Structure 1
Amino acid sequence: MNARPSQAGGLREITREAVRERIAEQALILFDENGFEQTTIEDIVTAVGISSRSYFRYYASKEEAVIRDLVVGGAKLRDNVAQRLLEETPWQALHHGMRDGAEQIDARPEKWLRTMRVIYSAASLRARNLEKHLTWSALLTPLINEHLDGDPRFGDLPARTLVGRAFACLDAALASWTEANAAAPFRDAIDAAFAVRT
């Protein structure tokens, strides 16, 4: 019996995502073992068993295989924070929204340790990671701004500052957690970073 079109389309999407994940996982292993700059796309496709043409159907560059869609994760974080703002302060909502994201890291710490080692090893990846955070900040700042009072001369400065502080906490937690080789759960590192007071 033939699958209905909607079922077939869904299966194709599942298969496509499985291939994307396989490419990304193999690329990360090669980048971590041999160096990001030293590893070529030809090395990746040989390891996965696909053609270079197939690779570019899934990823536009080596960087994209490490740091994927810039908007999707940010939209999830924004929606999470928006829901939390119904009951939490802006700072609490940012903290807890980012802490929720820590669950996927703690579920697969080895994968995320490898990912962060690779990101920290290459300037192009660090730049791409910064671009991701700027994209996510642009999604969060208007939302946070709705819940803050500030000097109208400075527009959304308080919201930009608060969101910037939150991402500084996230980055510091990731760096420390990676350097410590995941000695503690990442969610604990996030909590410790957000708890710092001067």
Structure 2
Amino acid sequence: MGESIGIRERARGALRGELADVALRLFEERGYDETPVDDIASTAGISPRTFYRYFGTKEEVLFGDLPPTSGDLPALLQDHLTRLGPWESLHQTLRHVAENIRTERGRWSRLLRVVNTSDSLRAGHLEQQMNLAQSLIPTLAPAIQGQAAWRDLRARVLVYTALTCFDTAFSHWAEHEGDIEMLEALDIAFATVPNADSAQS
């Protein structure tokens, strides 16, 4: 029984990936706003109703995989906080995301180009980042030293700064086909910011 469920999940994941590839190609050719769900479904050989079984919205075709999105990041951050300071914990948490995406530079480069052509997509990406920040801030705040009244503020600053480091490093890596590696880009981005762990009081 468990094996059959696993097979179904793999098949579902494969079709979801195929739909995302079809959608991305159409977005590149026609533009995101000019490509309705009906066209994506028709090109993929399925009905619009089937499309919505795999993606709740057209935006989700892009943002469902656009990193960092992992639902386990708060737990991963909490684990790092048992051994590391807040800033380095955020670094290592986002490094985990970077490790999972570094083999698909071409796909991410294409995806970012599509996002950057649409105001609605840029706004959606910002909303995604804000939602992720809100999931990380409550985990980080208790680990912040100093007056309790300022812990939430400091946690917000650190989380948003860390996500900016990730987003900037990710874009730089995806747009360059040279010797730049995602992990290296992320490490350099974090190193550019003075170490907030040593600045806590």
**TM-score w.r.t. structure 1 length?**
0.87
1:182 and 1:115 mapped to 2: Cα distance?
19
Q: Distance in 2 between matches of 1:123 and 1:44?
A: 21
1:171 positional shift: 1.9
Q: Which amino acid aligns with 1:166?
A: A
Partner of 1:173: 169
- State the Cα deviation string for residues 4-62 of structure 1 (Å, max 9, x = none): 4x433332222222211111121112212321112222221122111111111211221
Residues 69 and 196 from structure 1, CA distance in 2 versus in 1: closer, same or farther, beyond 3 angstroms?
closer
Name the residue aligned to 1:23.
19
Is the 2:20–2:62 Cα contact (8 Å) retained in structure 1?
yes
- The aligned amino acid for 2:128 is K
Matched, 1:106 2:102: yes
Q: Percent identity?
A: 35
From 155, 158, 168, the equivalent of 2:154 is: 158
Alignment of 1:92-171 (within 5 A): 92-154=88-150, 156-171=152-167
Q: Deviations over 1:55-96 (max 9, x none)?
A: 1121122101111189x9343222222211121111111111
Distance 1:36 1:181, change over 3 A: farther
Q: Following the alignment from structure 1 to structure 2, what is the Cα–Cα distance between the partners of residues 152 and 133?
A: 25
Aligned residue number for residue 183 of structure 2? 187
Cα pair 1:113 1:181 within 8 Å, conserved: no
Letter in structure 2 aligned against 1:86: T
Q: Please tell me the residue identity of whatever aligns with 1:84.
A: H
Distance 2:171 2:104 in 1: 17
- Is contact 2:90–2:159 with CA below 8 Å preserved after alignment? yes
User: Over aligned residue pairs, what C-alpha RMSD do you find?
Assistant: 2.2
The 8 Å contact of residues 32 and 118 in structure 2, kept in 1 or not, is answered as yes
Contact 1:117 1:178 in 2 (8 A): no
User: CA separation in 1, counterparts of 2:189 and 2:65?
Assistant: 26
CA contact (8 A) 1:74 1:139 kept: no
User: Is residue 32 of structure 1 aligned with residue 28 of structure 2?
Assistant: yes
Identify the match of residue 68 of structure 1 among 60, 64, 67: 64
In structure 2, runs of 5+ residues without a counterpart are: 195-201
Post-superposition shift, 1:182?
Answer: 6.2
**TM-score (ref. length: structure 2):** 0.85
SS, match of residue 32 in structure 2 = coil
Aligned length: 193
Aligned position for 1:51:
47
